[in-house]
Amino acid sequence: GEEDPDLINAWEVLASVAPAGQLADLALFGGFSGSAADDEPTLAFVNTLDDEGSVFQMSVNLGESADPDELALTMVHEFSHVFTGLSTQLDRSLEPDECDTYDNGEGCYLADSLMFGWIEEFWGNGLIDRVDPDAEAGASVGQALCDLDPGFFGPYAASNPEEDFAETFSAWTLDVPVTSPERQARYDWLDGTPGLAEFRDRAREAERSVDTNTFETCG
């Protein structure tokens, strides 16, 4: 078929930020047209292409890709779901009652996984017990937790730990400014986590930084 310039642009944005070696975890990269009538349009999504989670597909809503800052944030957000959902991070062979860390509805996080570390750091005090891992993420789902914790980057982020990490990681990678100490604590955690700085370094080199914070406030 014909090349789609919007799809090519989305790939180029992602490839400018994600390290080349990690892009190999994406076997397919495609586009779709979402409904403009949706209250919360899906900007992009990823899914695993095998039972283990060793390779993924990313699909981008080409009708929502015009804003360069939003596109960059979306690409980084979605790619975080890839590297936190790999078989080296998430064991999809275990049943929920066999999981000693956290079962996200798709599998059980390994004890040394990025997401379990994130959950231990930011989802204590009963927050994790209020999450339905089988519920679809959305601002309406996360609003109650957003009201409780100013560290979240909006109610969508408060839907579950995965969206919390993805929203925070995209903002951190693209140098979105923050002023609250609770959000800064999330940035500090990412600063101290090995293997993540290359994303931000590449984003800076590619001049992808986002100067304006458009994330909804919480708390």
**Position 16 in a domain:** no
Predicted pLDDT at 3: 84
Per the CB < 8 A criterion, the answer to whether 60 and 32 are in contact is yes
* 29 φ/ψ angles, rounded to the nearest 5 degrees: -140, 115
**Position 193 in a domain:** yes
**pLDDT tens digit string along 77-104?**
999 999 999 999 999 999 999 999 999 9
Split at pLDDT 50, 70, 90, the class of 41 is confident
State yes or no: pLDDT of 123 exceeds 90. yes
Mean pLDDT of 157-184: 98
**Position 143 in a domain:** yes
Predicted pLDDT at 42: 87
Predicted pLDDT at 75: 97
**Position 34 in a domain:** no
**Position 4 in a domain:** no
**Position 196 in a domain:** yes
Element (H, E) at 22: helix 20-23
* 56 φ/ψ angles, rounded to the nearest 5 degrees: -130, 165
Predicted pLDDT at 38: 64
Domain count within the chain: 1
Structure-token pair, residue 167: 């929203």
Count Cβ atoms below 10 Å from residue 179 Cβ, excluding itself.
8
**Position 44 in a domain:** no
**pLDDT tens digit string along 174-192?**
999 999 999 999 999 999 9
Q: What is the residue whose two structure tokens read 């750091």?
A: 121
**Position 210 in a domain:** no
Domain range for 181: 68-96+104-205
pTM for this entry: 0.96
Q: Give percent of the chain above pLDDT 70.
A: 97
Predicted pLDDT at 36: 58
